[in-house]
Amino acid sequence: PMGTQKMLFSATLDGQVEQIVDSFLVDPVSHETTPVTAAVATMDHHVLAIAPSAKREVTAQLGAREGRTLMFTRTQLGAERVAQELVEVGIGAAALHGNKQQGLRTNVLAGFREGAYPVLVATDVAARGLHIDDVTMVVHVDPSDDVKEYVHRSGRTARAGATGSVVTLALPHQIAKTRNVLAGAKVEPTWADDVDSAEVPALTELGGRTPVGEPVEDPATVKYKGAPRKLDLGRNRHRGADAGKAEERRANEERRASWEDPEGGEDGARPGQGNARSGQRSARSEQRSARSGQGSTRSGQGQGQGQGQARRGGGRGRDGGAPEERGRQSGARSTGGTGGRGKAGDRGRSAGTGRGEERGRSAGTGRGSEGTGKGQGRGRSGAPTRAPRRRGGR
């Protein structure tokens, strides 16, 4: 209504907010407390340029540090996966994202606020409007895509004059974009290059520790004080830490490490991995050769049976040719044959006649002029050919 005073409050004043101001306010007066930057005097920024194979181990080292840690991932599945991996190595962690019911989100936040577990893994749903006391570190497990996102994520620590650290884990293909985001946020981070294991000094300076290694109780399966009374965790309960999956992940990491050669090969290739793949290809080739040999053996057995039946028969083909005539039959049925039938195994192509009689190839089911019936064999490569599908069949 006219004659009233209108005020608009926003955490940030950017282009979108200015559009709303121009649409609804008349001659407004703007007042901004602090600029939109992450350059807080009590906040330290760090970037770890890590190898892909070391990301899980480095994340666990940072999660095992003392104090509360808030980790951010790009996707909801990523948040669940990181939280599950931390639980499996002995670190209490729960996931928070928009795909959870409101009651479950409230319960997870209540447990994290009261200190029931030290690590909260969240998507950008927790980047704005969320205040939790004593969050001493924010870890960008997946780096931010833009400046505003980095500012809001990092702002969950070093609040109200407290101190805090912000750590970004950047894979090789994410380093250039991370530099641009940090430059836009007007911060000068401390870089640690070539972080390929958990033994680097940069992790020790950040307070990283080696986790216990034994699974702990999943915090998401516990009801905390402050959760809704009607919240039923039994309906949404999942298995939590799975020792079998944890052991499988460790075995896969050891197998991957055995394939990789730290020196590398030509053109950036990994000799160990290349030799393993070559061995797999050789094994597949040997299997194919063995199958081809089995097919040739079966085809030879069918040929011998066909010769015996042809010699006992003595009829002529449809065209009246002599037994010594050489011809080819391609799945056709020739009438007038008086010979027997020789089964040559599975359906396919097989040489069903002998040297002195008619030489031919029957592809399919046919009664040859010398009695080479049912030429059901294997193909030239030894692999069985597919039988025609009958209408209405499986």
Kindly indicate the confidence band of residue 171, based on its pLDDT and cuts at 50, 70 and 90: very high
pLDDT at 172 over 60: yes
Helix axis angle for 243-259 and 76-88, nearest 10°, is 100
pLDDT of residue 218: 92
Query: Tokens at residue 150, please?
Result: 């980095």
pLDDT at 391 over 70: no
Q: What percent of the chain has pLDDT over 70?
A: 60
Kindly indicate the confidence band of residue 327, based on its pLDDT and cuts at 50, 70 and 90: very low
d(CA 208, CA 23): 50
Average pLDDT over residues 118-124: 96
Average pLDDT over residues 315-343: 42
Average pLDDT over residues 109-117: 95
Kindly indicate the confidence band of residue 289, based on its pLDDT and cuts at 50, 70 and 90: low
DSSP state, residue 373: B
Between 360 and 42, name the one with better pLDDT: 42
Say if residues 340 and 312 touch (Cβ distance below 8 Å): yes
For the chain, how many helices (H) and strands (E)? 10, 9
Most confident of 87-96, 149-158, 228-237, 344-353: 87-96
Identify the burial level of 100 via C-beta atoms within 10 angstroms of its C-beta, where 0-12 means exposed, 13-18 middle and 19 or more buried.
Answer: buried
d(CA 302, CA 295): 10
Kindly indicate the confidence band of residue 339, based on its pLDDT and cuts at 50, 70 and 90: very low
Residue count of the chain, please give it.
Answer: 394
d(CA 108, CA 223): 8
Reduce the DSSP state of residue 380 to 3 states and report it.
coil
Alpha helices in 226-270 (DSSP H): 233-236, 243-259
pLDDT at 349 over 50: no
pLDDT of residue 341: 46
Reduce the DSSP state of residue 193 to 3 states and report it.
strand
For the chain, give the mean pLDDT.
74
Please say whether the dihedral angle defined by the alpha carbons of residues 342, 348, 353 and 354, taken in this order, is positive or negative.
negative
d(CA 129, CA 132): 10
Cα–Cα distances in angstroms (integers) from residue 276 to residues 53, 132, 273, in the given order: 18, 49, 5
pLDDT at 348 over 70: no
Kindly indicate the confidence band of residue 296, based on its pLDDT and cuts at 50, 70 and 90: low
pLDDT of residue 11: 73
Say if residues 382 and 291 touch (Cβ distance below 8 Å): yes
pLDDT at 114 over 70: yes
pLDDT of residue 334: 39
pLDDT at 277 over 50: yes
pLDDT at 333 over 90: no
pLDDT of residue 331: 41
pLDDT of residue 27: 87
Domains and CATH numbers, the chain: 43-259 (3.40.50.300), 301-309+339-379 (no CATH)
d(CA 85, CA 163): 28
Say if residues 96 and 79 touch (Cβ distance below 8 Å): yes
Most confident of 177-181, 262-266, 280-284: 177-181
Kindly indicate the confidence band of residue 176, based on its pLDDT and cuts at 50, 70 and 90: very high
Say if residues 304 and 338 touch (Cβ distance below 8 Å): no
